[in-house]
Structure 1
C-alpha cells in the first residue's frame, strides 16, 4: 500500500490543531517536533497561508493559529497590528494571560507537545 506523507504545511496544521485551549507553543518548537529545527519561519508561512481558504481544507477557523507565538513568548505579528490584537484577544478568551506588550509567560502556558507515536502518525499521514 502506497501512503503519501502529508506536506510540511499540512503537518504544521495537524500539530497546531493538537495545542489545547489555554496553552501555546512556538514556531520553532513546532518545526523541531516535525524534524525541521531550523524551519520556524516556514511554520509562520504555513500559518499565514491559512488566510487563503481556497488553498485547501485547513483555514484559520479550524486551525488555532493564535496558539503559536515566538520563542520568547511574544505575539510576533508586528506588521499587522489588528491581527496581533485579535490574537491576544482570542488567547485571553482561552484563559492565557497576555500582557500589554503581547507577552505570554511560557513557564505557565507552554504546551509540552506531542508524544513520538502521535508525531509519527502525523508524519506518516495517518
Structure 2
C-alpha cells in the first residue's frame, strides 16, 4: 500500500487551495518579518503568490495572537482596527519607524519599515 503524505499539498479538489496549508503559509510569512519592520496584508498575500489580502486578514483574525500580528498592517500603514494602542506599544519597543500628523495620529512609515522578505 503506498504511503499517503502526512499533509496534503497546496491544492486539493482539483485546484482549490488547501485552507490548512494557506493558514500555515501565512503564519510562516508573518513569522519571518523582523522586529521594526512590517508587511501589508497585500504584501503577505503577494509573498505567497496570491492577491487575497482578505484571506490574510482572516488568518490574522483567527490566529494573529500566535505571531507578531502588529507587523502586518493595512496598506495605509495603520495597524488592525481596534488594536492601535497595543500595536503602538510594540512599535515603540521594536523601533518601528512611524509618521505622525499634526493632529497627533500616526501610522507606520511604510517607506522605511516595509519588509519584502
Q: TM-score, normalised by structure 1?
A: 0.70
Match among 45, 70, 81 for residue 31 of structure 1: 45
Partner of residue 8, structure 1: 22
Partner of residue 79, structure 2: 75
Partner of residue 97, structure 1: 97
The separation in 1 between residues aligned to 2:59 and 2:72, in whole angstroms, is 12
Aligned residues: 99
Partner of residue 60, structure 2: 47
The separation in 1 between residues aligned to 2:88 and 2:57, in whole angstroms, is 17
Q: 1:24–1:110: 8 Å Cα contact kept in structure 2?
A: yes
Unaligned runs of 5+ in 1: 51-58, 114-126
Q: TM-score, normalised by structure 2?
A: 0.74
Q: Indicate the RMSD between aligned Cα atoms, in angstroms.
A: 1.8
Matched, 1:110 2:114: yes
Instruction: Say which structure is richer in strand.
Output: 2
Runs of at least 4 residues of structure 1 off by over 2 A?
Answer: 1-6, 97-102
Shift of 1:92: 1.5
Partner of residue 18, structure 1: 32
The separation in 1 between residues aligned to 2:45 and 2:67, in whole angstroms, is 16
SS in 2 for 1:17: helix
